Chain A
């Protein structure tokens, strides 16, 4: 909870109206993004993202599992978000649960695409090892270490960075398993397959304060919002998911305007993030 005095509230509103926010940014400017990859040795891929005082870690673990009977030619991906009480005392116990479910639902909606798998950032069919029998299960766990607004964008970026850091070991299948038998497999510990993350969308959240929208809102700015729309956009400029937060209703024309603004912002942000990720990867080597 943020306690702001009337003066501080007016200061935030006035600044946003005049396109100079409390920390000197313009309305459409992100805080500098710092990316570090490979932060968790036990995971197949991991990344830490810092935007101002918001800091999150995402880790991707791959385990061999069985594809579901309904979709034998697809692997599985599960996204979890953990809001640690380290970040905010109100996350203690079950306090963070509501936010965790909200964030993980929004991430699933934005990253995993439709039911048939169209528009998914992660190609699920590339996770299959033996059709109907063995597939990779990707567990994407993210952790909020420090929270200063705009968690969803940070988590989305962290997951993108972690996925590009993933090395899934090559699995050699010994042939000749007939019928229902489980084929023999040999997991290589030298050969790793890289993951194609060019299709993974980026999430841009536009927060509406007063009449204007801002990107990358801090907690203080978020406390003054009417509503926020998170749009996930991929490299092709297609919308891959959208969620709305905040109670106030929005005029449909404003929603469409917000989508086009988000698309415009995402173009620069995707390039910026990609170069940050490759710089981080190079640092690690």
Chain B
């Protein structure tokens, strides 16, 4: 990971693939612990770094526990010839998984819908009218899938767009919540996601307090849904602070 400022290079060794026994979540055992020892409403430590790829106009790397994502942004550049004239810019998003990202090799192709979901999460935040007739490409690569992949991709992509100097109304932060039995767990890891009863993902622009994308699966009562949304929105605003400080750090490092 090339970092253009003087911070100590952040190396990491992939943790040896521990295979915990499938945790059993039932309503009766109310005090189970999460596989990684976090509290139910505790997010994984978030790590962001901009300028991860030197060839791109802007890029970012994000690491949330085992979820590792790299996003590069190219453009704005001329739209393809076949495209019709458009007085607003185009956003092209693509999310791919490395073949080694998932526990079983090559399973990442199950997530074809992620590209369009990333597009929907970002388009409301970008001032598309500032680059007419051109296209901005956002390419996301999931290096390692460790759960809550899409929210991490969205947050990382908005940071990469900011790094590329694309005009945005606000950063977009994404957080998901899983419903396991009666409990809500925030920022689920892969093992928790595989046995969840329901999930909710919010991407929002915290300064404007607007939801740019929202998906819910599984059965929810209104009360539960309210609680999960509040939890996510709160986490989003805290995540956005971390993202902002990462941008500020990068900017002050490039000045000095």
Contacts and interface: CB of A to CB of B under 8 A. Distances in A.
B183 interface: no
Given A114-B198, A249-B208, A229 B214 contact: yes
User: Main SS of the interface on chain A?
Assistant: mixed
B229 interface: yes
B218 to A, nearest CB: 3
Interface of A: 98, 101-102, 105, 109, 112-116, 118-119, 227, 229, 234, 238-252, 255-256, 259-260, 263
A252 B219 contact: no
Q: Which secondary structure characterizes the binding site on chain B?
A: mixed
A249 B198 contact: no
Given A118-B218, A241-B216, A255-B229, 7 more contacts: A116-B196, A239-B219, A242-B214, A244-B211, A244-B214, A244-B215, A256-B229
Top 6 A-B residue pairs of the complex, sorted by shortest distance between their CB atoms: A119-B219, A249-B210, A114-B218, A118-B197, A242-B216, A247-B123
Nearest to B117: A105
Most buried by A among B123, B209, B217: B217
Contacts of A252: 204, 209, 211, 229, 233
A247 B211 contact: no
Interface string B192-208: 01111111000011001
Contacts of B198: 113-114, 118-119
A250 B179 contact: no
B29 to A, nearest CB: 16
Nearest to A110: B217
Contacts of B208: 249
A93 B199 CA distance: 34
A234 B225 contact: no
A251 B116 contact: no
B192 to A, nearest CB: 10
A243 B211 contact: no
12 contacts: A109-B215, A118-B218, A118-B219, A119-B197, A238-B220, A239-B220, A243-B216, A246-B120, A249-B205, A249-B210, A251-B210, A256-B229
B241 interface: no
A118 B221 CA distance: 13
A113 B210 contact: no
B164 to A, nearest CB: 19
A114 B229 contact: no
Given A114-B197, A252-B209, A98 B219 contact: no
| B-side interface size class | 35 or more
B1 to A, nearest CB: 32
B79 interface: no
Contacts of A242: 214-216
A177 B153 CA distance: 48
B179 A114 contact: yes
Nearest to A118: B197
A239 B222 contact: yes
B219 A238 contact: yes
Contact of B204 (A101, A246, A249): A249
A244 B120 contact: yes
Contact of A241 (B113, B213, B217): B217
Contacts of B216: 109, 239, 241-243
B77 interface: no
B220 A248 contact: no
B211 A251 contact: yes
B214 A255 contact: yes
Interface in B159-200: 179, 193-199
B212 interface: yes
Nearest to B213: A244
Contacts of B209: 251-252
Contacts of A115: 193-197, 199
B100 to A, nearest CB: 20
Contacts of B123: 247
Contacts of A251: 209-211
B222 A113 contact: no
A104 to B, nearest CB: 9
Nearest to B220: A239
B194 A240 contact: no
B54 interface: no
Contacts of B212: 247, 249
B222 A260 contact: yes
Nearest to A242: B216
Contacts of B199: 114-115
B112 interface: yes
A235 to B, nearest CB: 12
Contacts of A259: 222, 225
B132 interface: no
B127 to A, nearest CB: 11
B124 interface: yes
B42 interface: no
Nearest to A253: B209
Given A114-B179, A251-B209, A252-B211, A240 B219 contact: yes
